[in-house]
Amino acid sequence: MNAPKTIRNTFLALAACAALVGCDPKDAAIAAQGEVIKLQIKSSCGDETACTAAVEAQFDACFEASGYDRFVDGKSFDEREAIMQQAIYDIFGCFRDDAGDPFFSVPAASKTS
């Protein structure tokens, strides 16, 4: 997979959506960022096909559950950074194998209580 080309195409498609049919630019930006995060996570799976399949199957639910979109809503830079970092940890920690075990280890200090 050519990640830079995929990212570019995702951004172009979302920009066209926003320009042509009036998609919310915030939603388009979050969707584009989600695609970048998904590519990064899949890359972290390496050659483990079960991990890659889990990311494909579970990403939307994990991304939504993380609250990643909260970081853009009128917060200070430091607040956005903290929320975004926690959301990234939550997304990575969300993916499970068939037995319910996580694919990625997330530092205990980063887990939400």
Could you read off the pLDDT tens digit of each residue along the chain, which spans 113 residues? 555 665 566 556 656 655 555 566 677 777 788 888 899 999 999 999 999 999 999 999 999 898 877 766 667 878 878 888 888 889 999 999 999 999 998 876 554 44
As a whole number of Å, the end-to-end CA separation of the chain is: 36
- Looking up tokens 């979109």 gives 69
Q: What is the pLDDT of residue 97?
A: 95
Max CA separation in the chain (angstroms)? 44
> How far apart are the C-alpha atoms of 55 and 62, rounded to whole Å?
9
What type of residue sits at position 44? S
Q: 20-23: long-range contacts at Cβ-Cβ below 8 A with a sequence spacing of 24 or more?
A: none
> How far apart are the C-alpha atoms of 49 and 12, rounded to whole Å?
29
* Structure token pair of residue 26: 């915030």
Q: What is the pLDDT of residue 113?
A: 42
Q: Please state the pTM of the whole predicted model.
A: 0.69
> How far apart are the C-alpha atoms of 81 and 105, rounded to whole Å?
21
Q: How many helices (DSSP H) and strands (DSSP E) are in the chain?
A: 4, 0
